[in-house]
Amino acid sequence: MTTLLFARHGQASFGKSNYDQLSPLGVRQATLLGQHYAHTQRKIEAIITGSLVRQQDSAKHFLTAYDGYDGCHGSSSLELDPTSPQIIEALNEFNHQDVFIKLDPNFANNEGIMAAVAQAPVPKVRLAELFNDAMIRWHSGAHDDDYIESWPQFNQRVQQALQQVVEYAEQQQAKTVLIFTSGGVIAAIAASLLNPDSDHISMAAYQINRSLINTGVTSIVLKGNQPRLLSLNEYSHLYYQGERLVSWQ
């Protein structure tokens, strides 16, 4: 039986000019996941990432910790080549900038965003609220023609990415594969597995995405070629050190 571990990337740089880079906390989160898997001797036989910087850097920091960890159970030494994670671009996140701008064209530049949040008691909270409004609009299906990639198009891409992951695992004969991707991708996969015949997968994915923790891991097992959801958003590698390491960005 093959297990696919879909890990959300570490905390990125929400609210910064370049979102697609890990924050110091994001680096720490990915490192802790690597240490945790090495410490518990969780054998990872293949690693896949999307092509986004925050996804690839999460894999890099995970691998550095995983390959080099020397804890109470000894060195990990788990037969993993840290130099060659497989890249599948279809695992990239949706275009969050396009989704945000389509809520309000003024959000196309920092000045417009700052004007919208400047009067709020906590600007970062207001920014998160506005982005949440943009996500609801994107998921609603009422404005699909507005977007570079609509929710149905994104979901189709993600399901194809899942099939690519399954095929790669089979090619490598890997029993446990770790995939660094993003929240929207994981949410779309989980929603489709929980509600395969539902007409409401989009909003289910929206609700799941809101709860996904940075470097939280969602486990999928393959029964034959059929994926089944085993667990969702597991992040004990963070929480044992306290809630201060838990983030959603």
The boundaries of the domain holding residue 164 are 2-93+150-245
Displacement of CA 246 from its chain's centroid (Å): 14
The predicted model gives 83-103 an average pLDDT of 93
CA proximity to 178, closest of 59, 89, 51: 59
What per-residue confidence (pLDDT) applies to 78? 47
User: Diameter of the chain by CA atoms?
Assistant: 56
User: Which among 111, 130, 148 is the end of a domain?
Assistant: 148
63 and 30 in a common domain: yes
55 and 154 in a common domain: yes
88 and 15 in a common domain: yes
Token pair 């906590």 in the structure block, residue: 122
Q: How much of the chain exceeds pLDDT 70, in percent?
A: 91
Provide the angle, in degrees to the nearest 10, between the axes of the packed helices 24-39 and 53-68.
40
CATH number at 86 reads 3.40.50.1240
The predicted model gives 183-206 an average pLDDT of 92
What is the number of structural domains in the chain?
2
179 and 66 in a common domain: yes
Label the pairing between strands 46-49 and 176-181: parallel
pTM of the model: 0.91
Instruction: Assign 15 a pLDDT band (cuts: 50, 70, 90).
Output: low
Greater pLDDT, 80 or 9: 9
Please, which residues bridge with residue 234 across strands? 217
The encoded tokens of residue 79 equal 């037969």
d(CA 24, CA 21): 10
Q: Assign 44 to helix, strand or coil.
A: coil
Question: Using only C-alpha atoms, what is the Rg of the chain?
Answer: 18
Instruction: Assign 80 a pLDDT band (cuts: 50, 70, 90).
Output: low
pLDDT at 9 over 90: yes
The predicted model gives 10-22 an average pLDDT of 82
166 and 64 in a common domain: yes
What per-residue confidence (pLDDT) applies to 77? 44
Least confident of 15-29, 60-74, 204-218: 60-74
